[in-house]
Amino acid sequence: MDTLKGLARAKELYLDRRKRVKELKAQGKKVLGYLCLFAPPEIMAAAGILPYRLRGDIKEPITKAHDFVEPFGCPYIRNLFDQDLKGKFDFLDGLIMSHSCDMVQRLYGIWTLNTRPSFKYFVNVPHTLAPWSKEFFKRELIFFREKIENFSGKKISNDQLRKTIKEYNTSRALLRKLYSLRKENPPLLSGTETLQVLVAGMGIPAEEFNNLLQEVIEEVRSRGQGPLKKTARLMLYGSVCDDLSLIQLIEEGDACVVIDDTCIGTRSFRHDLPETPDPMDGLVMAYFDSFLCPRTDRGPGSARFHYIADLAKEYKADGLIMYIYSYCDPHKFDAPDVSMSLRKEGLPSLILDDDYSLTNLASIRTRIQAFIELLS
């Protein structure tokens, strides 16, 4: 273990995303890479496996993946596939994917055929909320649990699964506590620092992450000065934002990012995983019912977006930036309704379209600066 603590440790884990996981791998830990929470990490962790959420590299041009998939698809998923083709994920013992979107579903066969992981599994996820779909998803998670048991050689008891869920709920509670420090004006923690902590937690065991979160919370509360006060307080909305570049770009100007609604942000820890007699029911409730991902059909109308405005108001955000990847149909289909819902609440929004490269950095900077000036 490194001797760095708190924010310094989080920054180190962010900058060298593979160092710690390779250390654990050398100690005999099995590591499974996964793309989305629809394949619950609690199930993997309960079997003694390290769930490693795959992260993109915005500075790595997509080259090899173009030989296998057309460029008219999610650039984030293609970036991950490209990294695997280049051997960047050679420390993994297997790959877990789920039907988070159609691009992932269609790429699963191509990906696993060409990288040939020693273990692979795909979790089917329904798109509509209905009693039958919840039963279907529970059955899928039972199959997933059985596959993980066979892979690990370890039977996952309900007691062990409950214990693991409790550990992950501790992470969720600590993250909510960490985020609450951003309600201050100025916020005690910058958006850049927050994202480093989130990404650091994607590749270490839950217990280790909880220790890190406690160190960060204590450090932030005790340090003399946090980020400087800015004119605008912003909320960030979108899919997977796992690179600092965009938030740094925003916070280099006269704004700070105080809250988010992203896949690795508040969507993943806003609510605890409920305790249920059968822990599998709690997993269904948390990752299907309550996980507010645009890929799941929740019916027409904008009422389903009220929580976004509620979050913005809770953190006193002046406006919202939607950072949406090119060809991300679920988020793009929702974008007009999200904007309309926010407009009714008096919250302006800005939509940024990017191919997970920020090659159009100058244009994005200009649009962000204009948005901040509009808010001021």
Per-domain boundaries in the chain = 16-152
- Report the C-alpha gap between 301 and 278 in whole angstroms: 34
Which residues, listed in sequence order, are joined to residue 96 by a DSSP beta bridge?
34, 121
Residues of the chain with pLDDT below 70 are 1-2
Strand 255-261 and strand 319-325: pairing? Answer: unpaired
**What's the one-letter identity of residue 142?**
I
State residue 362's pLDDT score: 86
Token pair, residue 49, equals 């496996």
pTM of the model: 0.95
State residue 47's pLDDT score: 98
State residue 358's pLDDT score: 80
State residue 193's pLDDT score: 96
Three-state DSSP state, 32: strand
State residue 239's pLDDT score: 86
Helix 6-15, helix 191-200: angle, nearest 10: 70
Closest CA to 206 of 351, 53, 7, 368: 53
Helix spans in 86-205 (H): 102-115, 131-152, 158-180, 191-200
State residue 154's pLDDT score: 96
CB-based contacts of 164, cutoff 8 Å, min separation 6? 42, 45, 46, 206
State residue 2's pLDDT score: 61
CB-based contacts of 63, cutoff 8 Å, min separation 6? 82
Helix 206-222, helix 191-200: angle, nearest 10: 160
Does the domain at 16-152 match CATH 3.40.50.11890? Answer given as yes
- Report the C-alpha gap between 144 and 112 in whole angstroms: 17
Token pair, residue 219, equals 């450090």
Q: What angle do CA 135, 139, 144 make, to 5 degrees?
A: 145
